[in-house]
Chains A and B, each alone.
Chain A
Amino acid sequence: MIVEGDYTFAGTREAVWEALLDPEVIAHTMPGTQEMVRVAPDRYEGRMRVGVGAITAAEFQLAVQLVDVVPPERYTMEIDGRGRFGFTRGTATVNLSPDGAGTVMRFRADMQVGGKIAAVGQRLLDSVSKMMTKQGLEALAAEVKRRLAG
């Protein structure tokens, strides 16, 4: 499953870069994140709970490995999430480029979903990923805005 798009933040590339890689920010903005710890400069681990509608919010153990990091321009995340209802894993690449006073983020995630959620929930995978992307981006934008204001 490919999720891609772009989003313009009102802030410098450096500010956006810092926000994106700040575990606190990730924990705040990634939908369902319970906990996110930067266990190494290029590695995060945490827990997420994702539930939709009647589907009980299932806990995922999440690990994110950063590779190909070129501050403040681009990085790639290798994502590995496992939980009782299945797993999700894949890579997501983020590119930042200045755009006037703001910063354009281009992202492309190639995610695989497996287990029970894939087997019986395929109808909703696209919608859920769209929803989570939207929520995450909006929260991120708010966070960037808050930081710049603060």
Chain B
Amino acid sequence: MSPRWLGERVPRLEDTKLLTGRALFTDDVDLPGMLHAAFLRSDEAHGVLRGVDVAAARARPGVVAVWTAADLGDYWKPGPLLVPPPPIAGIVFNAATQVPLAREKVRHVGEPLALVVAESRYLAEDALDDIVVDIEPLPAVMDLEAALAPGAAVVHDELGGNLAARARQTKGDWAAARARAHAVIARRFRYDRGAAAAIENRGVVAAWDARSEELTVWDTTQAPIPIRNGLAGMLGLGQSQVRVVAPFIGGGFGPKIMMFYPEEVLIPWAAMRLGRPVKWIEDRRENFYATTQERLQIHDAELAVAKDGTILGVRDRFLSDTGAYDPYGLTIPINSQCTLLGPYAVPNYDSEFTVVFTNRPIVTPVRGAGRQHGVFVMERLLDLAARELGMDRVEIRRRNFLPPDAFPHDHQILFQDFRPLVYDSGRYAEAMDQAVAAIDYERFVRVEQPKLRAAGRRVGLGIVSYIEGTGIGPYEGARVTIEPSGTVRVATGVGTQGQGHFTTFAQLVSDVLGMDPSKVQVITGDTREFGWGTGTFASRGAVVAGNAVHEAAIRVRKKVLALAGAVLDAKEDALVLECGSVHVKGAPERAIRLGDLAVKANPLRGGVTPGTEPGLEATAYFGPDRGNAANGVHALIVEVDAETCEVRILRYVVVHDCGTVINPTVVEGQVQGGVAMGIGNAFYEQLVWGENGQLMNASFMDYLLPTALDVPAVEMRHTVTPSPLNPLGAKGVGEAGAIPAAAAFAQAVEDALQGGIEVLEMPLSPNRLFELMQDGAA
């Protein structure tokens, strides 16, 4: 069973449907008699909801139903708390979860106030214009510090303040470390909000079949199984009566995990009430308010270093914006807190975060999920320390890397999976060496940069390291079945949003069962096919579901060998699985095709003995003990036009280590795409809010996704340090590209401007760079 497909660049099996326009996305579901929904959303960020007059909307021809919060009766309930607070001593956590339709108060722009169902989306939107809303505006809570000050307006009156959470994690003795430091670098860092902006907006289609008493929901979710379980509970149905399908999804990036958006709660309910299928497809403007977002944090951080650049300790106090509600708990700030430590030995650490409710849309993870912030703060501190110590920036990093024999390395704090933050494996200096070589660091610094500077060109280099905690639990499962046709079906609970699961999972099975991946049919994200699991997030698909798929295939292989041994009258260790059939070693004529074996595995009368299990089928689950630590280095070269403040990326190198690579093409695609998002976060994308909580750029005209002209081709290198925490040795990769880009970009821009400015905030923009350069010149 030597791996033939593991590590191969197998072209993706799912492509043909997508390339020919035949893949089913949620908005492609068109059912007879289907109605269309639209939501009226608040124009105000914060206010007392005095009334929603829907009489005229109800009277409009073509409108079937209009509901406000008052019409929902007992069905109106705040959503579930998806991630409870972890067991950190002294933690404070105030839960406030989103509601299906606002009542009494509105808490962010775009919060839904009413649901209209009509014969077409056009008519439903006509009816939205008929609704008269009376909101008495309240001051919007926007500034994280002001929000906590006495007398501030309060987002959730029952909490008496805007504190959502506070938690402190420490190791060692920061005060002592600071006291003996040669230098202490202290700065304030700000990392602002962006949108995930998947090109496909969200959508939900629900159909209730009154005869079979079954509810089918197509949902652009990254987590169909929890949605099924939750909906069944809310609607008083058995879990088997609800089928949730996450069909092809046009990009996820985190917000599509967020469970029990108001629309997910209400559209199935409306379909059951009306006895007709109902479709809601989010439009782009809605997406900017109604879909969750991420990123605003403000860090006051200090780094204590010895004269030789050795890190003595880090202290960080940071504010983290959770928006109007906090259903996702503390995943983001804990990720920030943990990821800050990076690949470095940090003997003393004192980090406390304060999570704040504001009148902005809800914050839940977006690709990176708080890790960016940690990397940005640490890498910027190291850059500043290197400058202060007169050290090379690569050298200060090398000096502090955890060595290869330091594993498992226990950071003595808790990670987002509630497990200790213990790194499993890594070769950090080697990754740095590769990056230094790939970008030709020495030559750039000594030859290229001085030469170009002499010619008036402002070029700069950035090079940073990062760790990504990936592949967390709890668990995923998979069922592998050999069909009489000879096709192997793999069903798993995770949904897929473009990560190539149809192919990578097929590769895992192919090696075990000795067949071509094209003969393996993978089904994801349909609760009727597989009903246990959580979802696709935290770069865990390949690690957690992948290992489950692999284990299920191994169990099927055992069944194959046992049955084939009986059929072919041979010992199991004399059998060879290859090309979809089993034969006896050295006797290729003594063979049986897997499909034929599958027929025999469904025994007829007389063929059953006690203990016989029919079918060449097995189900397996995998739950890792804890998350693993992928790592890497990003290096880039930029050129700044000091007059126009435009920044151009000339080169971009990534060295990354995600353990065992199942399909390098897919992995490289994830990294390249992640870098694009990271560049967006660094220089193009920023959600801009007015002081009254208005979003000033709720369109693709003003919220700027990078285009083909803005994203360079990433030059990629791999190091492979398998994880000891799972049989495949895999680590996650989905978010890696996005995480360190901003830190690298900031260093490069500073370098290009030769220390004229300090970049302590992200994102940057030409306008902001102009301001910083003005300040620097003044």
Q: Quick check: do A and B touch in the complex, using CB within 8 A?
A: yes
* A residues in contact (CB < 8 Å) with B: 84, 86-87, 89, 112-116, 118-120, 122-123
From B109, B137, B285, B690, contact of A120 by CB (8 A): B285
Q: Which residues of B contact A114 (CB under 8 A)?
A: 43-45, 109, 690, 692, 694
> Which residues of chain B from 256 to 294 have any CB-CB distance to chain A below 8 Å in the complex?
285, 288
Closest to A125 in B: B696
User: Is B698 a contact partner of A112 (Cβ separation < 8 A)?
Assistant: no
Please name 7 further chain A to chain B contacts, defined as beta carbons within 8 Å, in addition to the given A118-B695, A122-B696, sorted by A numbering.
A112-B691, A112-B694, A114-B690, A114-B692, A118-B696, A119-B109, A123-B701
User: Is B694 a contact partner of A120 (Cβ separation < 8 A)?
Assistant: no
Q: How far is the CA of A22 from the CA of B14 in the complex (A)?
A: 71
User: Is A123 a contact partner of B702 (Cβ separation < 8 A)?
Assistant: yes
Within the complex, what minimum Cβ distance (angstroms) separates B131 from chain A?
10
Q: Which residues of B contact A120 (CB under 8 A)?
A: 285, 698-699, 701-702
- Let me know if B129 is at the binding interface, CB within 8 A: yes
Q: How far is the CA of A123 from the CA of B696 in the complex (A)?
A: 9
Q: How far is the CA of A35 from the CA of B668 in the complex (A)?
A: 63
- Let me know if B697 is at the binding interface, CB within 8 A: yes
Q: Which residues of A contact B692 (CB under 8 A)?
A: 112, 114
Q: How far is the CA of A86 from the CA of B698 in the complex (A)?
A: 14
Within the complex, what minimum Cβ distance (angstroms) separates B417 from chain A?
37
Q: How far is the CA of A89 from the CA of B109 in the complex (A)?
A: 16
Q: List 24 A-B contacts (CB under 8 A).
A: A87-B44, A112-B691, A112-B692, A113-B690, A114-B43, A114-B44, A114-B694, A115-B43, A115-B694, A116-B43, A118-B695, A118-B696, A119-B109, A119-B285, A119-B694, A119-B695, A119-B697, A119-B698, A119-B699, A120-B702, A122-B688, A122-B696, A122-B697, A123-B701
Q: How far is the CA of A114 from the CA of B133 in the complex (A)?
A: 14
Number of residues of chain B lying within 8 A (CB) of chain A: 20
Closest to B133 in A: A82
Within the complex, what minimum Cβ distance (angstroms) separates B138 from chain A?
13
Closest CB pairs A-B (n = 3) = A119-B698, A115-B43, A122-B696
Q: Which residues of A contact B137 (CB under 8 A)?
A: 89
Within the complex, what minimum Cβ distance (angstroms) separates B326 from chain A?
24
Within the complex, what minimum Cβ distance (angstroms) separates A25 from chain B?
29
User: Is B691 a contact partner of A119 (Cβ separation < 8 A)?
Assistant: no
User: Is B43 a contact partner of A122 (Cβ separation < 8 A)?
Assistant: no
Q: Which residues of B contact A89 (CB under 8 A)?
A: 137
User: Is B702 a contact partner of A122 (Cβ separation < 8 A)?
Assistant: yes
Q: How far is the CA of A2 from the CA of B45 in the complex (A)?
A: 20
Within the complex, what minimum Cβ distance (angstroms) separates A21 from chain B?
26
> Which residues of chain B from 33 to 52 have any CB-CB distance to chain A below 8 Å in the complex?
43-45
Closest to A80 in B: B137
Within the complex, what minimum Cβ distance (angstroms) separates B533 from chain A?
37
User: Is B690 a contact partner of A118 (Cβ separation < 8 A)?
Assistant: yes
User: Is A87 a contact partner of B43 (Cβ separation < 8 A)?
Assistant: yes
Q: Which residues of B contact A123 (CB under 8 A)?
A: 701-702
Within the complex, what minimum Cβ distance (angstroms) separates B765 from chain A?
14
Q: Which residues of B contact A87 (CB under 8 A)?
A: 43-44
Closest to A110 in B: B691
Q: Which residues of A contact B690 (CB under 8 A)?
A: 112-114, 118
Residue of A84, A87, A114, A116 contacting most chain B CB atoms (<10 Å): A114
Within the complex, what minimum Cβ distance (angstroms) separates B96 from chain A?
23
Closest to B699 in A: A120
Closest to B692 in A: A112
User: Is A84 a contact partner of B696 (Cβ separation < 8 A)?
Assistant: no
Residue of B43, B697, B698 contacting most chain A CB atoms (<10 Å): B43
Q: How far is the CA of A114 from the CA of B696 in the complex (A)?
A: 9
Within the complex, what minimum Cβ distance (angstroms) separates A122 from chain B?
4
Interface string of B119-142 (1 = CB under 8 A from A): 000000000010000000100000
Closest to B698 in A: A119
User: Is B701 a contact partner of A86 (Cβ separation < 8 A)?
Assistant: no
Within the complex, what minimum Cβ distance (angstroms) separates A38 from chain B?
24
Contact flag A86-B43 (CB < 8 Å), given A112-B690, A112-B691, A113-B690: yes
Q: Which residues of B contact A112 (CB under 8 A)?
A: 690-692, 694
Within the complex, what minimum Cβ distance (angstroms) separates B616 from chain A?
56
Closest to A85 in B: B43
Q: How far is the CA of A118 from the CA of B690 in the complex (A)?
A: 9
Within the complex, what minimum Cβ distance (angstroms) separates B553 from chain A?
50
Contact flag A113-B694 (CB < 8 Å), given A119-B285, A119-B288, A120-B285: yes
Interface string of B282-312 (1 = CB under 8 A from A): 0001001000000000000000000000000
Closest to B128 in A: A84
Q: Which residues of B contact A86 (CB under 8 A)?
A: 43
Q: Which residues of B contact A116 (CB under 8 A)?
A: 43, 285
Q: Which residues of A contact B129 (CB under 8 A)?
A: 84
Within the complex, what minimum Cβ distance (angstroms) separates A129 from chain B?
13
Within the complex, what minimum Cβ distance (angstroms) separates A119 from chain B?
4
Q: How far is the CA of A113 from the CA of B43 in the complex (A)?
A: 10
User: Is B694 a contact partner of A118 (Cβ separation < 8 A)?
Assistant: yes
Q: How far is the CA of A119 from the CA of B691 in the complex (A)?
A: 13
> Which residues of chain B from 686 to 727 have any CB-CB distance to chain A below 8 Å in the complex?
688, 690-692, 694-699, 701-702
Q: How far is the CA of A26 from the CA of B54 in the complex (A)?
A: 34
Within the complex, what minimum Cβ distance (angstroms) separates B201 from chain A?
15
